[in-house]
Amino acid sequence: MFFGTSLVLDSFMRNAPQTTKLKQLVKGVGVVLIIIGFLSKSVIQIEAGTVGVKSLFGKISPQPLGEGLSLINPLMEVHKLDIKTQNYTMSGILGEGQKSGDDAIQVLTKDGLEVVIDLSILYRLIPDQTPRLMQQVGELYRQKIVRPVARTKVRDNAVYYEAVQLYGSKRDEFQNKIFDAMDKEFQKRGIMLENLLVRNIKLPQSVKTSIEEKISAEQDAQKMTFVLQKEKQEAERKRVEAQGIADYQRIINTGLTKNQLQYEQIKAYKEMATSKNAKIIVIPNKSPIILDGK
Model pLDDT for residues 24-80, shown as the tens digit of each residue = 666 666 666 666 655 566 778 889 999 999 888 888 888 988 888 877 778 888 889
State the pLDDT confidence band at 185, using cuts at 50, 70 and 90: very high
**pLDDT(120) > 50:** yes
State the pLDDT confidence band at 195, using cuts at 50, 70 and 90: very high
Which has more confidence, 74 or 10? 74
Average pLDDT on 155-184 reads 90
Domains delineated in the chain: 2-81 (no CATH), 86-203 (3.30.479.30), 256-294 (no CATH)
**Residue pLDDT, tens place only, 89-117:** 999 887 777 777 788 999 999 988 889 99
Share of the chain above pLDDT 90, in %: 30
pLDDT at 286: 52
State the pLDDT confidence band at 293, using cuts at 50, 70 and 90: very low
**CA-based nearest residue to 44, from 68, 24, 61, 63:** 68
pLDDT at 176: 93
Which has more confidence, 20 or 87? 87
Entry pTM? 0.59
State the pLDDT confidence band at 8, using cuts at 50, 70 and 90: very low
User: What's the mean pLDDT when you consider all of the chain?
Assistant: 78
**pLDDT(204) > 80:** no
pLDDT at 215: 61
Angle in degrees, CA 174, 176, 180, rounded to 5: 120
pLDDT at 242: 82
List the single range of 84-88, 232-236, 250-254, 287-291 with lowest mean pLDDT. Answer: 287-291
Which has more confidence, 87 or 4? 87
Asked if 51 and 64 touch (Cβ cutoff 8 Å), the reply is yes
Q: Is 270 exposed, middle or buried (0-12, 13-18, 19+ CB in 10 A)?
A: exposed
Share of the chain above pLDDT 70, in %: 68
